[in-house]
Amino acid sequence: MGVAAQQMLQAGRVPIIMTSTRIPDEIHDRCAHCIGREHSICNAIDDCDLAILASESSKMTVPDGRSFIEEGEPAHDFFVVTGGRVKLFTLLPDGRRQITGFAEGGDFLGLAASTSYAFGAEALGTAVLCRFPHASMQRLTSRFPNLEHRLRQEASRELTLMQARMTLLGRKTARERLATFLMERARLLSAPVPEPHAPIELDLPMPRTDIADYLGLTIETVSRVLSAFKREGLISIRGITHITIMQPDRIAAIAEGLE
Amino acid sequence: MGVAAQQMLQAGRVPIIMTSTRIPDEIHDRCAHCIGREHSICNAIDDCDLAILASESSKMTVPDGRSFIEEGEPAHDFFVVTGGRVKLFTLLPDGRRQITGFAEGGDFLGLAASTSYAFGAEALGTAVLCRFPHASMQRLTSRFPNLEHRLRQEASRELTLMQARMTLLGRKTARERLATFLMERARLLSAPVPEPHAPIELDLPMPRTDIADYLGLTIETVSRVLSAFKREGLISIRGITHITIMQPDRIAAIAEGLE
DNA sequence: GCCTCACCTTGACCTGGATCAAGTCTGGGG
DNA sequence: CCCCAGACTTGATCCAGGTCAAGGTGAGGC
């Protein structure tokens, strides 16, 4: 292990592995087979221009728990999550935390920033990111005007989600929050109506603390409400992360405050 | 009064006055002297092209309490608030309401929508709006590519604000919420540091109910906390709407959870 | 296999803010 | 000038969810 890496470990910091690809073919492939190509802003660019896209970006691997965006720091980069998961949050001076979102494969990060980031971000498990410096993004948008439109779309999508989350945080009960959370997770797996009443298997990759900070609750309340749902036969819990929604229609009703 | 207008009143609906300007000079003037020209997305367009901007938009006057965007309805228009004030909100089926923001002169509305609006909007006092149908906006952005960038900026600004609001709703106490709200209002009047300790006079144009629904509290709690602030000499209240922040530094500290 | 530590669950109790119920103030109309 | 309605304030009480304090559990290391 190199001296620099040792020093970082001693300082309690794990190094971020930065891969800089140089060979054009490899560059093209990196973007061609990336999940961002399917779902994220990268689909605003034609196949033939992928090399340009790749040359303006770099791949990063972030180890579990490592933070890679500090709230309030000058915002230099955008990111696309290409593997693993990430949590986004804001902090109050005394340490209270609000998780403002979880991001995974294909999600775009960095729009909520003017000159400095309005949020912090940290890997939830090992995460792989694609980084776009602001200057690169500017070159890309001026070359591919369509990309700017795509960025706006992404921002609109995010705004729509936040609108719903504000209602959750401001007006829903603990039961309603957990039910909403479970349905949100369920919607991530299967896009359209799967089967109206079929059980939905979920894997919650985040610890209870994170769920609590996401829903504006305490870890105890999250635990209690999940136990109550289980007792009522609405969900079943096997292992900490593995939850099955047994009665999706009823959970959905609770989420909307109808029960 | 015309028959149509009478029918609308009988149905409990007040007609929205729609002004369609036809004379080119007048059109140019409408945009040239508009507050949106200074602060909103309209400043992405050069003086010489203002007639185009005006021809793609129309002025609307909305009377107090009248709603002009229904949550969940198909999204056909963007709006710029050019006069008065507006409140944005989402509803739960049982009537619980979360006000997601107040908008005033220069603010842009409609980004939080994909095919349908993610929020409702209603005039707070008489409001004047400039309406841009989506098709018009599309023509404008393809003619003035800079405008698309401006829209993204606007979305980013909005996202940054929402980030802070989620922390407020998820993690702050009632005192902290009210203090944050007061500082937010103060920041609207004077951009930079006015005087560190000078009192700040505010005029709150919205009823307590709206403040409560904005902060995720009840009207009684809003009232009690404001009374407590007054008792502690942090603010003074004259009339319902007129509040003076006597100790801005302490209110600011409370807002951040430091007191 | 079993130890251990980190994470989760459960229980007992407390409290901030909601709810319920009177007052009180204000401004517009007669 | 007084009356009235709507909006705000204040007080009494309640309760959802927070806090504090033990237990349980299961995945990785020895």
The arrangement of secondary structure in B172-255, i.e. its CATH architecture, is Orthogonal Bundle (1.10)
Walk along chain A (259 residues) in steps of 10 and give the mean pLDDT of each run.
42 49 57 83 85 90 94 96 96 96 95 94 95 96 93 96 97 98 91 75 95 98 97 94 95 95
pLDDT tens per residue across span A27-74: 557 888 888 887 888 888 888 888 888 899 999 999 999 999 999 999
Contacts of A97 in chain B (CB under 8 A): 171
Angle at B56 between CA B51 and CA B57, to 5 degrees: 100
List C-alpha distances in Å: B19 to A189, B49, B59, B163, B189.
48, 21, 6, 37, 30
What per-residue confidence (pLDDT) applies to B24? 54
Q: What is the CATH number of domain A169-255?
A: 1.10.10.10
Q: Any idea which fold A13-158 has?
A: Jelly Rolls (2.60.120)
Q: What was the pLDDT predicted at A16?
A: 59
Question: By the CB < 8 Å criterion, does A163 face chain B?
Answer: yes
Q: Is A209 helix (H, G, I), strand (E, B) or coil?
A: helix
In the prediction, which pLDDT does A13 show? 44
Closest approach of A214 to chain B, Cα-based (Å): 8
Q: Which residues pair with B127 in a beta bridge?
A: B62
Measured CA to C1', what is the nucleotide nearest A216? Answer: D17
| pLDDT on residue A2 | 44
DSSP label at A13?
-
List, run by run, the mean pLDDT of 10-residue segments along chain B (259 residues). 42 48 57 84 86 90 94 96 96 96 95 94 95 96 93 96 97 98 91 75 95 98 97 93 94 94
Asked if B248 and B186 touch (Cβ cutoff 8 Å), the reply is: yes
- Spanning CA of B220 to C1' of D13, the rounded length in angstroms is 14
Which residues have a Cβ under 8 Å from the Cβ of A173 and sit 6 or more positions away? A257
- At B241 the pLDDT is 92
Which residues in A lie closer than 8 A to residue B97 (C-beta atoms)? Answer: 171
Q: Which residues is A91 bridged to in the sheet?
A: A97
Pick B3-168's CATH classification: 2.60.120.10, 3.40.50.150, 1.10.3720.10, 3.30.360.10.
2.60.120.10
Q: Does A174 touch chain B (CB under 8 A)?
A: no
| Domain boundaries, given as residue ranges, for chain B | 3-168, 172-255
Could you give the C-alpha distances from B4 to B1, B12, B14, B60, B66, in angstroms and in order? Answer: 8, 13, 11, 18, 17
pLDDT of amino acid B92:
97
